[in-house]
């Protein structure tokens, strides 16, 4: 397709990811995807590796894995592609077409992940999904079952002032006024859960921000400053024994 056709088609989609479709056209996604990518501290190259992107949505991280040389990339989603929320699959499909990508796709729920159905992967990306899970430990168990090497987990955290493993429960719309947000584990809980489902090495590679920066953000946002102060996001790399990334 030519650039004008691509621009018009992209303009008709509500994007979550900011994706460079080429020719200077970058989608107007709500998520600052390039900034998040920098925080993930992914390997520079995925050459010779297979990658699974769980909760792929528009596919920014799937296409990035392909760009970094992965031999196979499978993007999976369900909620965001089904239209149950405000997202749809149109962004992923247009980006894949525009980028001439070979990324595969499968519509599947996290709790339905199974090696017999999708295979196993050297690298698994589980980004911004865990806190949407009603059963987070079971979700991590399913994710572990399809991970042979490196799991990259990015998620919301809460109860940052609590040192022992603990998790906040959001029965209604307590987190971002979104009823699909259920849990906010603290970093200690995430590390413990990952070890419980079979990961031997667990490293927090992008920790919550320092006390001063979180305090300033909380004060600037107004509302419940203490609630905002105790929350942030975190990135964790978890590996199994004999991983290529050990």
Mean pLDDT per 10-residue interval, the chain, length 246 residues: 92 97 94 96 97 98 98 97 90 98 98 97 98 97 98 96 95 89 96 98 91 63 67 95 55
- Is 13:90 a contact under the CB 8 Å cutoff? yes
Determine the Cα–Cα distance for residues 69 and 47; give it in Å rounded to an integer. 4
Q: Going edge to edge, which strands form the sheet with 121-127?
A: 104-107, 72-77, 50-54, 121-127, 147-157, 232-239, 201-206
Q: What pLDDT shows up at residue 246?
A: 45
Q: How many CB atoms lie within 10 A of CB 78?
A: 16
Q: Where are the alpha helices (DSSP H) in 168-210?
A: 187-196
Entry pTM: 0.92
Determine the Cα–Cα distance for residues 136 and 151; give it in Å rounded to an integer. 15
CB neighbour list of residue 181: distance below 8 Å, 6 or more residues apart: 131, 132, 156, 170, 173, 174, 175
DSSP code per residue over 57-116: TT-HHHHHHHHTT-SEEEEEESHHHHTSSS--SHHHHHHHHHTT---EEEE--GGG--HH
Determine the Cα–Cα distance for residues 42 and 26; give it in Å rounded to an integer. 22
Q: What pLDDT shows up at residue 213?
A: 66
Determine the Cα–Cα distance for residues 47 and 245; give it in Å rounded to an integer. 12
CA angle 199, 205, 209 (to 5 degrees): 130
- Is 154:234 a contact under the CB 8 Å cutoff? yes
- For domain 3-239, give the CATH superfamily: Vaccinia Virus protein VP39 (3.40.50.150)
Determine the Cα–Cα distance for residues 9 and 95; give it in Å rounded to an integer. 10
């Amino acid at each position: 397709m030519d650039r004008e056709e691509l621009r018009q088609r992209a303009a008709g989609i509500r994007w979550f990811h900011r994706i460079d479709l080429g020719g200077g056209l970058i989608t107007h996604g709500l998520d600052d995807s390039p900034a998040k990518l920098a925080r993930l501290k992914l390997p520079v190259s995925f050459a010779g590796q297979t990658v699974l992107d769980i909760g792929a949505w528009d596919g920014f991280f799937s296409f990035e894995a392909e760009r970094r040389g992965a031999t196979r990339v499978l993007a999976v989603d369900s909620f965001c592609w089904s239209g149950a929320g405000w997202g749809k699959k149109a962004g992923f499909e247009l980006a894949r077409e525009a980028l001439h990508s070979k990324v595969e796709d499968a519509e599947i729920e996290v709790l339905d992940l199974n090696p017999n159905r999708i295979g196993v992967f050297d690298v698994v990306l589980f980004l911004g999904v865990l806190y949407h899970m009603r059963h987070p430990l079971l979700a991590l168990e399913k994710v572990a079952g399809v991970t042979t090497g490196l799991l990259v987990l990015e998620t919301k955290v809460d109860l940052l002032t609590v040192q022992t493993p603990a998790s906040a429960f959001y029965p209604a719309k307590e987190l971002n006024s979104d009823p699909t947000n259920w849990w906010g584990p603290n970093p200690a809980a995430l590390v413990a859960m990952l070890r419980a489902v079979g990961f031997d090495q667990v490293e927090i590679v992008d920790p919550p921000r320092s006390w001063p920066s979180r305090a300033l953000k909380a004060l600037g946002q107004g509302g419940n400053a203490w609630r905002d102060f105790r929350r942030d996001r975190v990135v964790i790399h978890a590996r199994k024994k004999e991983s290529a990334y050990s």
